[in-house]
Structures are given as structure tokens and as C-alpha cells.
Amino acid sequence: MYGLVGSALIGVASATSLSSLCTSDYVTSVLPTSADDIPSGITIDTSSVTASTFTNYSVTDATFWEDVNINFCEISFAYTHQNQDDRVVVQYWMPSPDAFNGRFLATGGAAYTINNGSGGADMSGGGSSNFDDVVILGNGTANWPAIYNWGYQAIAEMTQIGKAFTSSFFNSGDSNSTDLYTYFVGCSEGGREAMSQAQRAPELSTNHLAPAVQIQTHDYYPPVCVFETVLNATINACDAMDGKIDGVVARSDLCLQNFNVSSMLGKSYYCEAGSTSSLGLGYGKRDSATPVQNGTFNEKDIEVVQDLLTGLKDSEGRLVYFPFQPAAGFGDTTVYDSDTDSWTITSPDSNGEWVTKFLNWQNVTEMDMYGVTNDDLKMWILKGMNLYGDSLQTTYPDLSDFYNKGGRLLHYHGEADTSIPTTGSIHYHESVRKIMYPDLDFETGNDKLNDWYRFYIVPGAAHCAINADQPNAGFPRDNFALMIDWVENSVSGANEGEVQQICTWPARPYWTDNTTMVCQQNASSVSAML
Ligand SMILES: *[C@@H]1O[C@H](CO)[C@@H](O)[C@H](O)[C@H]1NC(C)=O
Ligand SMILES: *[C@@H]1O[C@H](CO)[C@@H](O)[C@H](O)[C@H]1NC(C)=O
Ligand SMILES: *[C@@H]1O[C@H](CO)[C@@H](O)[C@H](O)[C@H]1NC(C)=O
Ligand SMILES: *[C@@H]1O[C@H](CO)[C@@H](O)[C@H](O)[C@H]1NC(C)=O
Ligand SMILES: *[C@@H]1O[C@H](CO)[C@@H](O)[C@H](O)[C@H]1NC(C)=O
Ligand SMILES: *[C@@H]1O[C@H](CO)[C@@H](O)[C@H](O)[C@H]1NC(C)=O
Ligand SMILES: *[C@@H]1O[C@H](CO)[C@@H](O)[C@H](O)[C@H]1NC(C)=O
Ligand SMILES: *[C@@H]1O[C@H](CO)[C@@H](O)[C@H](O)[C@H]1NC(C)=O
Ligand SMILES: *[C@@H]1O[C@H](CO)[C@@H](O)[C@H](O)[C@H]1NC(C)=O
Ligand SMILES: *[C@@H]1O[C@H](CO)[C@@H](O)[C@H](O)[C@H]1NC(C)=O
Ligand SMILES: [Ca+2]
């Protein structure tokens, strides 16, 4: 795990006073040990402390931060849980005392790591920070302590220990850990971690397999150029629907209502040999040995594409999980197999492990997709929700505790995410509104909710990233600064409902004269996104 203390936005100043505190002796002397400060049953290993000073460290091209140079002391130490043969390593970055501004920030991980990996969290005693390495103890035996650790406990502990440590490290006399503003920033698995804290405070990984399985169910494998051409045509057709021609589809709701892929029947497609386009292909395997793809859209191509655009359905046609937005792309689709000289579905990669290791508790890394059906996916989705309902799942909608403690949640989702459908986040926001404000209508309930939990759809953004298919679309890298303003300075009023050209859900953007954005709300647009 990995925490960053103070602001990432500090300038380069007074590294001297920092280095005088950045010694393992000093850190060891201020480790929190009081039972009031650290979680019950935890013992910090006082001999495990490391401390090193970083001066003018450059953060560039980061997903969540603007470029910045910072000074900090990188500190790590280990702790154990009573009667458990484990060892957890936490890492914190401390700013110099004059730059410390009373904030504690925890950051999230991605995929099967609980953080960036740099903290080297060892969650089970097995010496690995990758959760898929430790989730089972052997065939048929789940590693429940590691599952709960990963689910929410480790982040909670890192935060509680980190806040107590921060207060004693700076030893400012008038500051204690409850005086610190506490933030969490994360996306993807890191976003799940944020939600896990707000709710006590899993994404349905099975759904990652849906496009490939749906294609297999049709037993017809369109060349990947078909999907690319549909994506390009959709972006072209829907770009102007938001009032601004910029290659960004900021109104996928209108796109869904007004662009019909069947209009592409009989149109031609062409992709050069050997092209390794990244367009809309998710994280699937890419075979650079693809031949020239030159053809015309037939009925089968349209049928498969329509099926993917309308989401995973069971054998009786009932919707199992939401589709991606149109103009997002299709996730993992087809790939050329030069051995058989034919098109086939992509390899499930790490998403298959969710089924083999997490659901079947089998020590298998390469899942066999042959014969897997839509109904199998449905069964696995239900099994995952049942099995991990109180550990990994983050759909609990009652945020009363979080709200009562003054918590504020800023939640966003790329409109062109092809890893996790945008609609999943909208549904979560909706479920919180319905549970927290059951007697208020949609409009009034959302107004109340927006006082402390705001949801933003980021036009054109991909999965926690900018989008090569819609290059003019931005990705918010100033969220943390906005969050600080909202929490500490109660920003609202003048710009309420509009933050840096993003509308607060359920409003959607529209550019009236090609430059001026307004946030508008239409019943049909809301229902098209839900
Ligand atoms: C910090 O590093 C940047 C390059 O990243 C350099 O331009 C700047 O001069 C450095 N500042 C100091 C104080 O060394
Ligand atoms: C995050 O992890 C990557 C890969 O392990 C590493 O190169 C990078 O330096 C890490 N970033 C930070 C901020 O620690
Ligand atoms: C799973 O299999 C791998 C490779 O055979 C082995 O290294 C690992 O120890 C096994 N893990 C468990 C939990 O059995
Ligand atoms: C810590 O700060 C909180 C909030 O200001 C205060 O209520 C509490 O008494 C303080 N605790 C200690 C041990 O000073
Ligand atoms: C789709 O559009 C991109 C960007 O303009 C282009 O590079 C690519 O060749 C197009 N692909 C197809 C199949 O038209
Ligand atoms: C908006 O601006 C772009 C770029 O200047 C231009 O191509 C387009 O025609 C303008 N009008 C509309 C309605 O998008
Ligand atoms: C798209 O057009 C086809 C053929 O005209 C029609 O069957 C289908 O219902 C349309 N789909 C939507 C979502 O309007
Ligand atoms: C694609 O195939 C059609 C029909 O076979 C042919 O007329 C056309 O020239 C081909 N396009 C390219 C770019 O090779
Ligand atoms: C665990 O299960 C897998 C899949 O059935 C099998 O290949 C492997 O040999 C098993 N390992 C042990 C140690 O039984
Ligand atoms: C959506 O609502 C706005 C007013 O908020 C209206 O001007 C616009 O025409 C509506 N658009 C659609 C597609 O209904
Ligand atoms: Ca546009």
C-alpha cells in the first residue's frame, strides 16, 4: 500500500529540514504505538523502518496529477496482525514540514495490485503484492484473510496508521490525526477501493469476457476491421450531436437514440495488412500478422455488432449486464490466428483468472474459453456477487455513515470506457439516491445528493485514461485540487453543476454556439444512459 501525505502540489523548497527528519532513527521514534491510534490487534515492527529523501522528484504524464516536482521523504515500515502469520508493508511520502498543510492522501491501485506496486504490500506472507498470486491457498481453498485485506481492510488500516503517524511525524503540538483532512484518489480497482471505504465504509470482472463470448455464441467472427470501422463511423455520425464538432462524442445518449448501425449494411471496410490498431480493442491480444481486411458489411456483421451494443443477454434474451456506450468501442473482440488462417476471439488474459482462481479456486492462469456461453457468464456474475458480497463487492448503497461523518465523494467515469461500462456507475449513483432520499423525486433527490456526492461522466474519456480514438477529449487531472476546494472551502453556487466543462449527472453537456457549454437535462437522455 502506498500513501502520500500532504499536498502533491507543493513547490520545491527547504529540502534541508526535510532531510533532517528523514532518518530511520527519527521515524522509529515517532511510530504510532498507542492503542488509541492504531487498529486493534496490530503490531508495528519497529526494526523495519526505512527512510530516504527525494529532492526535486519529477512527476510527469501521471494519470491523476498535473506535472510537478516535489521533495519528500519516502518512509516504509511493516506490521503484523495478531495470531496471523502475515506481514504488511506500508509506504508513505512525507513533505517537508513547512509544506505540510494538514492533509492525508491515500492512493489506489489497479487490476490485481492494491496500489502502484511501489509500496510492496505483502498481504499474505507469500511475498507478493499481486492479489491473484495469493487469493487461493491451494486448489479448493480460498485465502479469506487476504481477500478481506484486499477488499477493504488494508486500505482502512493504512489510512488509520498513516494519519496517526503523520501527526506524530510533524509533531506540531496542536495537530492530531482527527484534524487532518483525509482524501482517497483512485480509478479502476483504485476506484473500487475508494468505494469500499465510502461504503464501510467488485467490479464484475466476468463482464470483461462478454464481447468475446457473445461473438462465440454467434459462431461468426467478424474481422477486427469491422469493429474499427463501426467505431469510426459512430464517432463521425455522433460528434456533432453535442453541438460541437471536435471528434468527441459528449452525448452518447443522443448517439444511442439517433445512430443505427444497421445503416452500415453493404458499406465497405478496409484495413491494411499488419495493422496493429489500438482502436477500441481493450486489452486483448493483438496479432500484428493480420492480413489485408477488405470487405463489405453483411447481415451477420451487423447482427454481431448490434448484439455487443445492447449488452450481454442470457439464452432467453434477458439483459445480464450493461453494454458500453456507443462510440466507446467494443472491448476485446476478434484477433487473427495465423495458424488456422482465420479470425477467432481474443484471449481472456487476466480476466479469465477471475473465473479460474477467484470463482473456481483453481490454480489455473490461462482460462479455456472454448464452449463458454452467455449463460455461463451470467452464472459466474451471480456467483461472484454471492461469494464476495461482503468482501470485494462495492455496491452497498447506504452511505449514511459516510455522509454523517462529513464525507464527500467525487465520482467520475469515462463515457468511452470499454473496460467497465459507464452505466454501472450511473446505476450506483441512482441506487444511493433511492436509498438515501426515497421520498424525494428524481430531481430533488439528485439536488440533495449533489451536496455531498457528485457524479461526472467525462466525455470521450477511456478507462481511467485519455482516449486515442477521441484525441480531443480530456481526462481530468485536477480532480484532487477540485476535491480539496470542495471539501475545505465548500465551493458551490456560481459554478455549481459545472466543473471544468463537465456537467454533474444527471445533466448532460451541449454546446450552443460551438463554444458555450450548457448543462441540460432531458428525460430521454437520462433513460438512454440508465
Ligand atoms: C528540478 O528539476 C527540473 C527538471 O525536472 C529542473 O528544471 C529544475 O531546475 C530543478 N530544480 C532544482 C531546484 O534543482
Ligand atoms: C509505479 O510503478 C511503476 C512500475 O512498477 C514504476 O515504474 C513507477 O515508478 C511507480 N510510480 C511511483 C510513483 O512509484
Ligand atoms: C500455483 O501453481 C504455480 C505454478 O505451478 C505454483 O508456483 C504455485 O505455488 C501454485 N499456487 C498455489 C497456491 O498452489
Ligand atoms: C484531536 O482533535 C479533535 C478535533 O479537533 C479533538 O476533538 C480531540 O480532543 C483531539 N484529541 C486529542 C488527543 O488532542
Ligand atoms: C479510424 O480512424 C482512425 C483515426 O482517424 C484512423 O487512423 C483509422 O485508420 C480508421 N480506421 C478505419 C478502419 O477506418
Ligand atoms: C464549429 O467549429 C468547427 C471548427 O472551427 C467548425 O469546423 C464547425 O463547422 C463549427 N460549427 C459547428 C456547428 O460545429
Ligand atoms: C435499427 O434499424 C433496424 C433496421 O431498420 C431496426 O430493425 C432496428 O430496430 C433499429 N434499431 C434501433 C435501436 O432503432
Ligand atoms: C477491395 O476489394 C474490392 C473488391 O474486391 C476492390 O475493388 C478494391 O480495389 C479493394 N480495395 C483495396 C484498397 O484494395
Ligand atoms: C489444481 O487444479 C488444476 C486444475 O484442475 C490442476 O491442473 C492442478 O494440477 C491442480 N494442482 C494440484 C496441486 O492439485
Ligand atoms: C433537451 O432539453 C433542452 C432544454 O433543457 C432542450 O432545449 C433540448 O431541445 C432538449 N433536447 C432533446 C433532444 O430533447
Ligand atoms: Ca463533439
For residue range 64-101, list pLDDT tens digits in order: 777 889 999 999 999 998 888 888 888 899 998 888 88
Are 521 and 507 contacting, i.e. CB atoms less than 8 angstroms apart?
yes
pLDDT digits (tens, 9 = 90+) for 387-417: 888 888 788 889 998 899 888 888 888 999 9
Q: Name the residue type at position 48.
A: S
In 3-state terms, what secondary structure has residue 377? Answer: helix
Q: Which of 362, 366, 367, 368, when mutated, tests ligand 9's pocket best, judged by the most ligand atoms within 8 Å of its CB? A: 362
- From the candidates 417, 429, 469, 525, give the one annotated as an active-site residue: 417
Strand 103-107 relative to strand 181-185, pairing: parallel
Q: Rounded to two decimals, what is the model's pTM?
A: 0.80
* Helix H or strand E encompassing 80: strand 68-81
- Is the model more confident about 150 or about 13? 150
If you average pLDDT over every residue of the chain, what do you get?
82
What average pLDDT does this structure show over 282-306?
80
Q: Which amino acid is at 94?
A: M
How far away, in angstroms, is 357 Cα from ligand 8 center?
47
pLDDT at 107 over 90: no
Top-confidence range, 257-261, 408-412, 487-491: 257-261
Domain boundaries, the chain: 18-199, 208-378, 399-527
Cell of 128: 507478493
Half-sphere exposure of 96 (CA within 13 A, CB side): 19
For cell 486515442, the residue is: 468
The percentage of residues in the chain with a pLDDT greater than 70, rounded to a whole number, is 82
Report yes or no: 116 and 127 within 8 Å, Cβ to Cβ: no
pLDDT on residue 78:
92
| pLDDT-derived band at 493, boundaries 50, 70, 90 | very low
Look at residue 217 and tell me whether its pLDDT is greater than 90: yes
Measured in Å, residue 157 CA sits from the centre of ligand 4 at 20
Contact 419, 329 (CB under 8 A): no
Spatial separation of the C-alpha atoms in residues 177 and 201, rounded to whole Å: 18
C-alpha cell at 41: 490487534
Picking from 276, 294, 277, the residue whose alpha carbon sits closest to that of residue 223 is: 294
C-beta separation of 343 from 223 below 8 A = yes
**pLDDT value of position 497:** 40
The pairing of strands 517-520 and 508-511 is antiparallel
224 lines ligand 5 (CB under 6 A): no
pLDDT at residue 281 is higher than 60? no
Relative to beta strand 409-414, strand 453-458 is parallel
pLDDT mean over 345-371: 86
For residue 36, the ligand 4 atom closest to its alpha carbon is 13
Query: Measuring from each residue's beta carbon to the nearest atom of ligand 8, which residues come in under 6 Å?
Result: 270, 294
168 C-alpha to ligand 4 centroid (Å)? 14
Residue where the block lists cell 477529449: 473
Question: Could you identify the residue written with the cell 468505494?
Answer: 195
CA distance 460 to 283: 18
Would you report the helix, strand and coil content of the chain in percent, each value rounded to 5? Answer: 35, 20, 45
